[in-house]
Structure 1
Amino acid sequence: MFRLDDKVVVITGGGSGIGKAISTTFAKQGGIVYILEMDEKGAALTVDEITTEGGKGSFFKCNIADQQEVKTVIAQITQKHTTIDILVNNAGIAHIGQADTTAEEDFDRVVAVNIKGVYNCLHETIPFMKEKGGSILNMASIAALVGIPDRFVYSAAKGAVGAMTLSVAKDYIGYNIRCNCISPARVHTPFVDGFLAKNYAGKEKEMFEKLSKTQPIGRMAKPIEIAHLALYLCSDEASFITGCDYPIDGGFVKLNN
């Protein structure tokens, strides 16, 4: 079950964290993985891990906020394979701030990556899915479902991802293209460790425990747990699922009172 044998997979932001876990997991299940990533070192390490374990993977340095860059990369992939079976829009950036403390340049930067970047990849990939169908998975967030302090533009952007998911699911259902999204709560990634080191120097352990316990289950998610849900939703076993958002949040949305 959940095999992706010879399926052509495009994953954005596969150089670390959730994206890396999805990339390596999909490759283990037989997918031919192409990573679009600005972090060349991280992407190369992910590809090394994939190939060392006998999988198929490669990466392109690509700024997903630039449609021409995305167009060029997708063209190279489809020249080799003619089709794309799976697209995972995982890449995104975070921002801390409220409506009156978020600078215009920061607002524009988050929108460019987290909204326009998703649009660019959809725009360039969907035409190659129309003939045979495909699966699209977008990375949303519980920040789009509940009010989280100091996450104004990040929450707005992830809300847009959820809306784009529904639109794509509706517009392309006749082409056998499925589109779903995942909404994680806090996930223990290198980004979290870097955030704590930068903002809570000397109190990293204390703050890590505090952030972990905001999930009723008592801990943060592991990237591999997000990857396993992603694998299911992109596999043929989930062929009856489209237009859905899946919170994976340790009870955060429903059980926090």
Structure 2
Amino acid sequence: MRLEDKVAIITGGANGIGKAAVEIFAREGAKVVIADFAEEQGKQLESELREKSFDVQFVKLDVASRESVQTMVQKVLSNYGKIDILINNAGITKDAMLVKMTEEDFDRVVDVNLKGVFNCTQAVVPHMIEKGYGKVINTASVSGVYGNIGQTNYAATKAAIVGMTKTWAKELGRKGINVNAVSPGFTRTSMTEKMPEKILNYMESIVSLQRLGVPKDIANAYLFLASDEASYVNGHVLNVDGGIMM
């Protein structure tokens, strides 16, 4: 198994891409912390996987709250004694055209998608430094590279994550910690379920593979970067987008 005895925190792990990652990491031998604000879904996933004898634990987490993040980290250390892998997967959208976007919606997306990544990484990394080993994987987006209509806030946070990833890779590589990012393209999640079918059809048409991604596509990229197979990959942004913008 590729992650045997590793301890992994996956934020936003109760749904979508995060849920797929939790399932894959558990099957690969990791002890997985499902860190999410969605308590009902998180506990349900925990129960389902424990019935299959996987070592998983749900911890309620608001990534935008430093206090919540610190509490989560302490619970993980109390239970497992270490943190090997951090997947900063949690994210939200509050889309609107620039002239209609509210300050509240702009700030909330920044708090979760950007500051949340900062909060979690800053809380976890000192424990990785102490052990001389760690994998940090951030979730960017093609929107952060190419922009997307109606996503001023979301695109800004995802572009910033690319910059933070490369900065942290330079700072932490000498400490034995790999920091990379995955940049998903159009992926079928609860976010896309709300979109009109004609928009989804258009999105498929501009992808070279002529399909939208599924959560497992992104989770498999997380798995590679979290494994020792990627021990010499650092500061990289891995596009998993079906060839949308070549």
TM-score range, shorter chain: over 0.9
Alignment match of 2:228 (pick from 231, 236, 239): 236
Query: Which sits farther off after the overlay, 99-108 or 171-180?
Result: 99-108
Query: Which sits farther off after the overlay, 34-43 or 233-242?
Result: 34-43
Find the residue that maps to 2:69 and give its secondary structure. helix
Displacement after TM superposition at 1:35 (Å): 1.2
Q: Which amino acid aligns with 2:229?
A: E
Displacement after TM superposition at 1:128 (Å): 0.7
Aligned to 1:78: 77
Aligned to 1:152: 152
Q: Which amino acid aligns with 1:3?
A: R
Q: Which amino acid aligns with 2:224?
A: Y
Aligned to 1:174: 174
Find the residue that maps to 1:34 and give its secondary structure. strand
Displacement after TM superposition at 1:173 (Å): 1.0
CA distance in 2, matches of 1:191, 1:53: 29
Alignment match of 2:219 (pick from 211, 224, 227): 227
Q: Which amino acid aligns with 2:96?
A: G
Aligned to 1:11: 10
- C-alpha root-mean-square deviation of aligned residues, in Å? 1.3
Q: Within the alignment, does 1:113 sit opposite 2:112 as a pair?
A: yes
Find the residue that maps to 2:71 and give its secondary structure. helix
**1:53-202 mapped onto 2 (5 Å cutoff):** 53-132=52-131, 133-193=133-193, 195-196=194-195, 200=196
Q: Deviations over 1:28-80 (max 9, x none)?
A: 00000001111112112322332233211011111110001100110111122
CA distance in 2, matches of 1:4, 1:37: 21
Displacement after TM superposition at 1:81 (Å): 2.3
Q: Is the 8 A contact 1:82 1:128 kept in 2?
A: no
Residue segments in structure 1 that go unaligned for 5+ positions in a row: none
Q: Which amino acid aligns with 2:134?
A: G
Query: Which sits farther off after the overlay, 90-99 or 228-237?
Result: 90-99
Q: Is the 8 A contact 1:187 1:223 kept in 2?
A: yes
CA distance in 1, matches of 2:148, 2:124: 32
Q: Is the 8 A contact 1:28 1:50 kept in 2?
A: no
Q: Which amino acid aligns with 1:55?
A: F
Q: Which amino acid aligns with 2:202?
A: K
Displacement after TM superposition at 1:98 (Å): 3.2
CA distance in 2, matches of 1:92, 1:15: 12
Query: Which sits farther off after the overlay, 136-145 or 98-107?
Result: 98-107
Displacement after TM superposition at 1:13 (Å): 0.3
Using the aligned pairs only, state the percent identity: 36
Could you list the runs of 4 or more consecutive aligned residues of structure 1 that deviate by over 3 angstroms after TM superposition? Answer: none
CA distance in 2, matches of 1:58, 1:190: 23
CA distance in 2, matches of 1:42, 1:186: 23
Find the residue that maps to 2:90 and give its secondary structure. coil
TM-score (ref. length: structure 2): 0.95
CA distance in 2, matches of 1:209, 1:47: 34
Q: Within the alignment, does 1:217 sit opposite 2:201 as a pair?
A: no
TM-score (ref. length: structure 1): 0.92
Find the residue that maps to 1:70 and give its secondary structure. helix
Aligned to 1:26: 25
> How many residue pairs align between the two structures?
245
Displacement after TM superposition at 1:215 (Å): 1.6
